Amino acid sequence: MKAKNTFAVSFFTRKSRSVANQLSIYVRITVDKKRSEISLKRTVSIKNWDNTRNRVKGSSVQIRELNAYMDSVYGALLVCHKELLEAHRVVSADAIKSRYLGEDDHSKTLKDLLSYHNEKMSVVLKPGTMKNYYTTERYLYRFLSKERKVSDVFLKQLNYAFVTEFEHFLRNHRDSKKKLSLGNNGVMKHLERFKKILNLAVKLEWMEKSPFNQFQLKYHKYDREFLDEVELELLQNIGLKNERLEKIRDCFVFACYTGLSYVDVKDLNKENIIKGIDGKQWISTKREKTDKPVKVPLIPQAKAILQKYHDINRTGPTVGLLPISSNQKTNAYLKEVAAACGIKKHLTFHVARHTFATTVMLSNNVPIETVSKLLGHTKLSTTQIYARVVESKISEDIDNLLDRLKATKRKKTQES
């Protein structure tokens, strides 16, 4: 609003309804002849109120304190008016009142933002993603409690120092066994989620800018585990006496030949098995993580596993096709399977997805664009993270190159 708008602050009284001969003190904000009033929650005797000066008469300690409080209210309201002008916000009596009472966007707190995010995003984001946000939220509250000694903080107090101190807290946080809870990438994931939450605050105009503008997230790159051809064959063929481990092994191998994630394997049912354009069986599903449609040809190794469990407690069209346990138990059982096979790698169900991309697909000359489609990725760059070119493939490609160079040389020799 323009600075020329009329603005005034004045104090007045009303007779108290509960105490005789007492007046309740109010402050009135006037902007362009429109008023808004605030009760100061203070009273004064009728004989001590000066109608001319709109202040309390007398020199006692209590009266001086009351007048000083009224002066502080007056000054605070002037500051609120100035802040609204400088921020190019709408200047009205109600807007000044809201800012003074801490009820406008300027006075939103981190707790307000987290509550808003959880309420709105819980219907947009997947439960697994929300679970990660709740974990980040718990770390934020622990940081506020242990490092800042407060339960909440105004959004306008969040700055670069807050972010770096939170990062330091995450890096040094220890669990009940006194071990560091998070590695570098775990810390970065929490900071990335916090950054997204603050970006929401900026979009809502609860903050002018994000303190992450000057902060760079630095992830460490790691080679992701996958099974090579020999290890995958060993895993497939080894005899497991424990039926529990055999079921988990089969589910894992199925994922190695389909590229499905744990939750997509868990939710797989008869309705997901369709006839493809080639007349063969395909898996048609949606990725739980991205809700993106995925169609994967059912190659013989995967089809054989489905056939193995076809008639075992599978009655309805929406009943899961494979006997998979919970994600936590599945990963625990896979450690036992790896030990039984003599595989030294850290085996988790997600390793199957990497194996599909690298050993089953790319190593057999399937184009990365096709692999990306089969994995249900929205960006090719995501597939490039999953799928590396193994040394055997490099060696094979170099041998082919050498053969072509020799053939070219022979041809030139013959022509000359």
Task: Return the closest-CA partner of residue 76 out of 13, 114, 29.
Answer: 29
Taking only the tens place, the pLDDT of each residue in 218-263 is 988 776 788 989 999 999 999 988 899 999 999 999 999 999 999 9
Among residues 79, 106, 133, the one where a domain terminates is 106
Give the pLDDT of residue 13: 94
138 and 205, same domain (yes or no): yes
Spatial contact of 58 and 45, defined as CB atoms under 8 Å apart: no
Rounded Cα distance, 61 and 388, in Å: 79
For 43, residues 6+ apart whose C-beta sits below 8 A from its C-beta are 16, 19, 22, 23, 24, 25
Give the pLDDT of residue 27: 95
2 domain-assigned: no
343 domain-assigned: yes
Spatial contact of 30 and 73, defined as CB atoms under 8 Å apart: no
Rounded Cα distance, 132 and 155, in Å: 22
Give the pLDDT of residue 160: 95
221 domain-assigned: no
Task: Return the closest-CA partner of residue 257 out of 324, 304, 321.
Answer: 304
Q: Which CATH number fits the domain that encloses residue 210?
A: 1.10.150.130
400 domain-assigned: no
Query: Nearest 5 degrees, angle CA 285-CA 286-CA 290?
Result: 160
238 and 190, same domain (yes or no): no
User: Position of tokens 């006496």?
Assistant: 241
202 and 233, same domain (yes or no): no
| Number of folded domains that form the chain | 3
147 and 206, same domain (yes or no): yes
Residues in the chain, how many?
416
289 domain-assigned: yes
Token pair, residue 265, equals 């394997």
pTM of the full predicted structure?
Answer: 0.61
User: Position of tokens 């489905």?
Assistant: 306
122 domain-assigned: yes
* Residues spanned by the domain of 205: 108-214
Segment-wise mean pLDDT, segments of 10 residues, the chain, 416 residues: 74 88 94 93 93 92 95 94 83 87 77 94 88 96 95 91 97 91 95 97 90 92 83 92 92 94 91 90 84 88 91 57 92 94 92 91 86 84 66 70 83 78
Task: Return the closest-CA partner of residue 284 out of 210, 374, 220, 199.
Answer: 374
245 and 379, same domain (yes or no): yes
134 domain-assigned: yes
14 and 139, same domain (yes or no): no
158 and 235, same domain (yes or no): no
Distance of CA 68 to the CA centre of its chain: 48
User: Position of tokens 């105004």?
Assistant: 154
